[in-house]
């Protein structure tokens, strides 16, 4: 029997909850990004959090057409946040992934499917491709998680943890009543479970050695060594993605567009990392031949999210342009078009990142109640990078 249709008010409320749920899902995934050890899973998380924010943007766009200009108004925000914070309290990355994808995302996909069956295909036709796209992306993410967990949670102990957490997540989400189920008291966390976010140290899987220090820049005259260093450095930009992930999780109360821009920024840094990894492979190297540099993530976590964001955008990214342009010209002169093109795309992305920094830093100051001016905070951030950065090139350019 087909599901009973819903009226426009009920359908619109569902879209409102779903856009907030996608945004929260992206922020939660971002918060856990540094805590996910498996390298390919980390990359998948970077892509998925950006997909979730794009789904949220499309839903919000449709809501605007449906005359809901402020889609976050009137939401069960406390309940949403409570559920998300309990899902954040997984103690292992495999548990977290099971809860988020096989609990939360499955509930969202079921809600999209339900929406498709309960709305009017003609009256509400413009909603349907938005909902269908959200559903298809969600289904692909769930398939990824199922495959990942099959290969990553193999021991009976891990399978037990994953199974238990997945059951907890499903019961929690169902009891919340957020996605069309009957509301009930929320289940408590398993004993001794508490939130590990924000993550203090970025994790890497067993294929990698880790080190706190970055890599010394070879002489530009040693073309082979310098190009290898260049793309190895790109591959270490996962730390920038992880810092942004922590910011996305920790900063509350910003306009929705901030989370959208920071989500794209986070995904871009994952892409820069991947670009480095792919170019190294073209040069005859695998990434795990080199130690992973994780110290810059660790010391940045000692600062508040406002300053972390300021250090990345107004100092590290802003100050890197001179070297990037010099590097680009160097590759053009050497006839290394492939390296030159990679650097050019990076410069294009970085220009956006610095612009977002200039746009959002003043807002972040306001929201965090900071009394100092933007210039004062940026000066502080520049000093902090100069004193603490463990990447020699970064330290040098922040002191210029």
Residues that bind Fe ion (CB under 5 A): 237, 269, 272, 317, 350, 353
Question: Which residue lies nearer to Fe ion by CB, 242 or 269?
Answer: 269
Q: 291: cis peptide before it, omega within 30°?
A: no
Shortest distance, position 294 Cβ to Fe ion, whole Å? 16
For residues 84 and 91, what is the distance between their CA atoms, to the nearest angstrom?
Answer: 14
Question: Burial, 47: exposed, middle or buried (Cβ in 10 Å; 0-12, 13-18, 19+)?
Answer: middle
- The residue (of 29 and 270) whose beta carbon lies closer to Fe ion is 270
Give least dist CB 10 to Fe ion, A.
42
| CB-side neighbour CA atoms (13 Å) of 194 | 1
Least spacing, CB of residue 273 vs Fe ion, in Å:
8
Identify whether the C-beta of residue 159 lies closer than 8 Å to the C-beta of residue 153: yes
For residue 2, the minimal CB distance to Fe ion (Å) is 49
**Whole-Å CA distances, 352 to 187, 323, 348, 358:** 43, 17, 7, 10
Work out how close the CB of 264 gets to Fe ion at its nearest, in angstroms, rounded to a whole number.
10
Smallest gap from Cβ 349 to Fe ion, in A, equals 6
Q: Select 86 or 272, whichever has its Cβ closest to Fe ion.
A: 272
| Spatial distance between the Cα atoms of 253 and 262, rounded to a whole number of angstroms | 14
Q: Which is nearer to Fe ion, 27 or 272 (CB)?
A: 272
What's the CA gap between 52 and 22, in Å, rounded? Answer: 5
Q: Residue 249's closest CA among 236, 233, 266?
A: 266
Least Å distance, CB 320 to Fe ion, is: 8
Decide if 227 contacts 336 (C-beta within 8 A).
yes
Would you say 97 or 314 has its CB closer to Fe ion?
A: 314
CA distances from 166 to 100, 144, 156, 198, 310 (A): 9, 16, 15, 22, 37
Distance from C-alpha of 107 to C-alpha of 142, rounded to nearest angstrom: 11
Whole-number minimum distance, CB 262 to Fe ion, in Å? 11
What is the closest distance, in whole angstroms, from the C-beta atom of residue 317 to Fe ion in the complex? 5
Contacts of the segment 151-158: beta carbons below 8 A, 24+ positions apart: 152/38, 152/41, 152/94, 153/94, 153/98, 158/92, 158/94
Nearer residue to Fe ion within complex by CB, 94 or 266: 266
CB of 209 to Fe ion, least distance (A): 23
Nearer to Fe ion, 17 or 312 (CB): 312
SS3 content of the chain, % helix, strand, coil (to 5): 70, 0, 30
Q: Closer to Fe ion by CB, 239 or 301: give it.
A: 239
Question: Please, which residue, 123 or 345, has the CB nearer to Fe ion?
Answer: 345
Shorter beta-carbon distance to Fe ion: residue 176 or 274: 274
What is the Cα gyration radius of the chain?
22
| DSSP, residue by residue, 116-144 | HHHS-TTTTTTHHHHHHHHHHHHHHHHHH
């Amino acid at each position: 029997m087909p599901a009973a249709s819903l009226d426009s008010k009920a359908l619109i409320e569902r879209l409102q909850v779903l856009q907030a749920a996608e945004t929260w899902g992206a922020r939660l995934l971002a918060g856990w990004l540094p805590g996910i050890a498996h390298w390919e899973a980390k990359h998948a998380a970077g892509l998925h959090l950006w997909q979730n924010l794009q789904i949220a943007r499309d839903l919000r766009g449709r809501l605007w057409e449906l005359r809901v200009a402020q889609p976050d108004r009137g939401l069960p925000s406390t309940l949403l946040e409570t559920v998300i914070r309990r899902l954040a309290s997984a103690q292992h990355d495999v548990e977290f992934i099971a809860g988020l994808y096989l609990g939360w995302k499955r509930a969202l996909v079921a809600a999209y499917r339900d929406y498709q069956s309960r709305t009017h295909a003609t009256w509400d036709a413009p909603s349907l491709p938005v909902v269908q796209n959200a559903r298809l992306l969600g289904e692909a993410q769930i398939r990824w998680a199922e495959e990942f967990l099959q290969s990553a949670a193999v021991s009976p102990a891990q399978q037990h943890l994953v199974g238990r957490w997945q059951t907890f997540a499903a019961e929690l989400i169902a009891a919340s009543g957020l996605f069309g189920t009957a509301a009930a008291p929320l289940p408590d966390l398993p004993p001794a479970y508490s939130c590990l976010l924000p993550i203090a140290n970025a994790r890497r899987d067993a294929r990698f050695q880790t080190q706190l220090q970055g890599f010394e820049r070879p002489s530009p005259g040693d073309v082979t060594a310098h190009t290898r260093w260049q793309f190895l450095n790109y591959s270490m930009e996962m730390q920038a993605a992880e810092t942004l992930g922590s910011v996305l999780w920790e900063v509350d109360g910003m306009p929705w567009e901030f989370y959208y821009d920071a989500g794209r920024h986070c995904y871009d840094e994952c892409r820069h990392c991947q670009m480095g990894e792919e170019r190294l492979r073209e040069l005859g190297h695998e990434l795990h031949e080199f130690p992973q540099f994780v110290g810059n993530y660790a010391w940045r976590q000692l600062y508040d999210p406002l300053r972390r964001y300021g250090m990345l955008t107004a100092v590290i990214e802003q100050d890197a342009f001179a070297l990037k342009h010099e590097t680009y010209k160097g590759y053009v002169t050497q006839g290394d078009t492939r390296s030159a093109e990679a650097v050019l795309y990076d410069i294009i992305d970085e220009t956006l990142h610095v612009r977002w920094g200039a746009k959002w830093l003043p807002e972040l100051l306001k929201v965090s109640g900071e009394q100092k001016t933007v210039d004062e905070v940026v000066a502080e951030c520049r000093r902090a990078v100069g004193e603490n950065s463990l990447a020699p090139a970064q330290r040098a350019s922040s002191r210029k």
